[in-house]
């Protein structure tokens, strides 16, 4: 399967069969443009402008939101309710975590997760091979809370998202605080926006892969 980072919390996930899903497309008012992209489906973790820009995705995609468990052309999708804050949604509402099984690989997109790590939520999320996790704080979990999730979930691959990249206008932290919590030898700085994930790439040791967001210009 292939994972492509489009910026902010937006990824395009593509199975070897060609089935593709875009997660949390964003509005350019965050400070940079959403790349042109098409997909078979779009998942929405919650309805904030930086996560639900449906018109940015071409191809007449199916919209998937809210709690569900379903199959999309062989891709298993499991959506799990969580909270956007540490007050059980009283501050910023609910958030939906999406799990995908593609080519036998379990990928988890945490959306704008804001609640503290709990055994109950971890049990719902497991197992996870590839974890897409917010790390910028303020509107989501911060670097230290994200590290706790990583330590509890123990994925093979961690890809940080929802951090302040070049041009971003949101009041969130850069990715550096999160990376500073890991040994340098388990961090991989990718040259581009894509990562091919195959079974032999998953060796049981957690690695953090920082993808460069895709630019169309």
CATH number, domain containing residue 94: 3.60.15.10
Convert the pLDDT of each residue in 56-107 to its tens digit.
999 999 999 989 999 999 999 999 999 776 667 666 668 999 999 999 999 9
Residue found by looking up tokens 């497309």 in the block: 25
SS3 125: helix
45 within some domain: yes
Is the pLDDT at 192 greater than 70? The verdict is: yes
| Pairwise CA distance, residues 139 & 96, whole Å | 15
216 within some domain: no
Structurally, the chain folds into a number of domains equal to: 1
What pLDDT shows up at residue 77? Answer: 98
127 within some domain: yes
For residue 196, CA distances in Å to 2, 4, 16, 165 come to 5, 9, 10, 23
What pLDDT shows up at residue 88? Answer: 72
Convert the pLDDT of each residue in 146-185 to its tens digit.
999 999 999 999 999 999 999 899 999 999 999 999 998 9
217 within some domain: no
58 within some domain: yes
Range of the domain at 185: 2-210
- Helix ranges restricted to H, 34-136: 119-125
């Amino acid at each position: 399967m292939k994972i492509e980072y489009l910026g902010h919390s937006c990824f395009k996930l593509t199975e070897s069969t060609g089935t593709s899903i875009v997660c949390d497309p964003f509005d350019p008012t965050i400070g940079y443009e959403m790349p042109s992209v098409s997909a078979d489906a779009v998942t929405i973790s919650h309805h904030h402008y930086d996560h639900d820009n449906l018109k940015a995705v071409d191809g007449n995609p199916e919209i998937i939101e809210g709690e569900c468990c379903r199959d999309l052309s062989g891709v298993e999708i499991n959506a799990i309710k969580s909270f956007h804050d540490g007050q059980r949604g009283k501050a910023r509402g609910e958030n939906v975590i999406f799990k995908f099984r593609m080519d036998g690989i379990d990928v988890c997109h945490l959306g704008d997760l804001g609640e503290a790590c709990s055994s109950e939520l971890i049990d719902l999320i497991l197992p996870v091979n590839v974890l897409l996790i917010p790390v910028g704080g303020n509107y989501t979990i911060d670097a230290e809370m994200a590290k706790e999730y990583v330590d509890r979930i123990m994925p093979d691959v961690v890809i940080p998202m929802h951090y302040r990249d070049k041009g971003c206008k949101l009041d969130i932290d850069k990715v550096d605080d999160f990376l500073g919590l890991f040994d340098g030898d388990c961090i991989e700085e990718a040259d581009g926006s894509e990562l091919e994930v195959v079974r032999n790439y998953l060796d049981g040791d957690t690695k953090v892969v920082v993808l460069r967001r895709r630019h169309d210009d």
